[in-house]
């Protein structure tokens, strides 16, 4: 009798027969969604992410409206909710373009080119960059009136150990180490790899914080997606 009762109790009730498969299906969907979300978060936190460039300080290498994929994994990404970082796998070298926490406001992420590293002597004479008294050939730098202006001149400075001297390729239109000093190498969080997508719009459109204007801009992007996308830049490596 006891055995019979156990066997009957183990059978699904008639009312549950149609309900359990539905519950199981939604549970499976929820698990898949959570796993996908976890993978996205892990990729964003530890490997890399995409972001738009809203200013022209790195033109012509990087254009306003370029959406870049940049990698973090080599630069000791920080573990969330802690101040711990994973081991750094790569050292920054002269000529690298890096993303870093702006020294005066770490909440902001800047993108610049490293022109000198710790111990280097850096200066500019009539628009030419000199590192350790040797002129640097900069085919990437945007040439403008800065050769004859104050931004084309900079007295010699020694970069402290463990720090980086960074500059924008668009020397006439870049706030960089010439203005606010070198960047601690520990502030570097990644480097751009390639352009995912590039849309031709002025800096004001990308930087406008007004929600209504941003919605209007999003609508404009949809309307002009094909005519203003810079198709030739899609997939372009950044260097």
Across the strands, what pairs with 194? 69, 237
Tell me how many helices (H) and strands (E) the chain has.
6, 11
CA pair distance 62, 203, nearest whole angstrom: 13
- Paired tokens of 79: 């573990």
Q: Which of these is catalytic: 23, 51, 91, 112?
A: 112
- Paired tokens of 46: 């530890």
Residues 6+ away with beta carbon under 8 Å from 119: 158, 159, 161
Active site residue 57: yes
Whether residue 182 contacts residue 164, with contact meaning beta carbons closer than 8 Å, is answered with yes
Which of 147, 153, 144 has the alpha carbon at shortest distance from 122? 153
Q: Which of these is catalytic: 23, 28, 51, 57?
A: 57
CA pair distance 125, 147, nearest whole angstrom: 8
**Catalytic residue positions, numbered:** 57, 112
């Amino acid at each position: 009798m006891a055995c019979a009762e156990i066997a009957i109790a183990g059978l699904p009730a008639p009312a549950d027969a149609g309900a359990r498969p539905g519950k199981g299906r939604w549970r499976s969907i929820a698990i898949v969604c959570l796993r996908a979300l976890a993978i996205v978060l892990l990729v964003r936190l530890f490997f890399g992410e995409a972001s738009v460039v809203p200013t022209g300080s790195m033109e012509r290498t990087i254009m306003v409206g370029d959406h870049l994929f940049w990698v973090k994994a080599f630069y000791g990404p920080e573990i969330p909710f802690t101040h711990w970082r994973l081991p750094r796998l790569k050292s920054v070298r002269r000529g690298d373009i890096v993303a870093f926490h702006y020294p005066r406001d770490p909440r902001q992420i800047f993108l610049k080119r490293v022109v000198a590293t710790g111990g280097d002597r850096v200066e500019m004479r009539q628009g030419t960059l000199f590192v350790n008294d040797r002129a640097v050939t900069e085919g990437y730098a945007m040439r403008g009136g800065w050769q004859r202006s104050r931004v084309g001149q900079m007295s010699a400075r020694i970069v402290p150990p463990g720090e980086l001297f960074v500059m924008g390729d668009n020397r006439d239109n870049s706030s960089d180490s010439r203005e606010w000093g070198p960047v601690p190498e520990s502030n570097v969080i990644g480097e751009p790899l390639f352009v995912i997508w590039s849309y031709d719009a002025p800096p004001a459109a990308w930087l406008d914080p007004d929600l209504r204007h941003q919605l209007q801009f999003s609508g404009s992007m949809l309307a002009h997606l094909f005519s203003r996308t810079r198709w030739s830049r899609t997939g372009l490596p950044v260097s």
